[in-house]
């Protein structure tokens, strides 16, 4: 009976396709050595980034260098293209912590890509707000486009959790640049435009330029912005 309660279920298979379309919660948390990502492949920050590292470390007391793990991982990822085991080991040396401390951070936060990605990395949000506005269709359109237009490996695609731009749902991040108010046709246009160097961040559908109500009032109290001082006492 005890064995029945403590038995561990089999690990679910990795949900992936040939276009690297994965859900963030299905990413394997264990490192597997590959030809381009292994313990024998060292990584060194560039001279320019070494100067940036000095600026980052200056923000933390000497005994709390480990506070710089995340910004240094981000810096290494931008230089190397992904957060390899070599990047993590170098960050561990700089922050003077056991490598495992850095591995834990890199494997917990999904913005750290621990395997090679395309030059154009696309993350389509399918959390509740985006899902209710058709994010599943947007993701399906992106997946289909990448599958049929990726002979050179330029694109990589993943399904991400909340991007924090719910007012402009559905949203996709392309190399950390937000493209909003997307449709199935819109995401395809974004990917085409990005490769041609003419993609414009922001809303891709409708007339609004930010998160303002499209074609509607921006205040519930009239044409002008509401001034709270008109309904509060001034004698106290």
Residue numbers in the known binding site for [2Fe-2S] cluster are 125, 130, 162, 166
Spatial contact of 174 and 190, defined as CB atoms under 8 Å apart = yes
- Residues 6+ positions from 205 with CB-CB distance below 8 Å: 181, 182, 183, 186
Alpha-carbon torsion angle 214, 217, 218, 221, nearest 10? -160
Q: What are phi and psi of 189, to 5 degrees?
A: -65, -40
Spatial contact of 103 and 31, defined as CB atoms under 8 Å apart = yes
- Residues 6+ positions from 209 with CB-CB distance below 8 Å: 202, 203
Pick the closest to residue 195 from 116, 118, 117 (CA basis): 118
Annotated binding site: 125, 130, 162, 166
Q: Is the torsion defined by CA of 92, 96, 100, 103 positive or negative?
A: negative
How far separated are the first and last CA of the chain, in Å rounded?
Answer: 70
């Amino acid at each position: 009976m005890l064995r029945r309660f403590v038995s561990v279920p089999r690990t679910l298979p990795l949900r992936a396709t040939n276009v690297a379309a994965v859900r963030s919660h299905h990413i394997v948390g264990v490192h597997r050595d590959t030809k381009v990502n292994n313990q024998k492949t060292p990584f060194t920050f560039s001279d320019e980034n070494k100067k940036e590292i000095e600026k980052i470390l200056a923000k933390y007391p000497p005994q709390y260098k480990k506070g710089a793990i995340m910004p240094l991982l981000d810096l290494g990822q931008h230089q190397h293209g992904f957060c390899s085991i070599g990047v993590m080991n170098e960050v561990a040396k700089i922050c003077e912590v056991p490598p495992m401390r850095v591995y834990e951070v890199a494997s917990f936060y999904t913005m750290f890509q621990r395997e090679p990605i395309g030059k154009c990395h696309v993350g389509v949000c399918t959390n509740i707000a985006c899902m209710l506005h058709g994010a599943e269709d947007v993701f399906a359109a992106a997946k289909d486009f990448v599958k049929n237009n990726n002979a050179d490996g330029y694109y990589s695609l993943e399904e991400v959790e909340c991007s924090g731009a719910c007012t402009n749902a559905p949203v996709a991040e392309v190399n950390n640049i937000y493209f909003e108010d997307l449709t199935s046709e819109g995401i395809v246009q974004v990917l085409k435009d990005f490769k041609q160097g003419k993609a414009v961040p922001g809303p891709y559908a409708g007339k609004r330029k930010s998160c303002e109500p499209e074609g509607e009032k921006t205040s519930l109290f009239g044409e002008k912005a509401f001034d709270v001082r008109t309904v509060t006492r001034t004698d106290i």
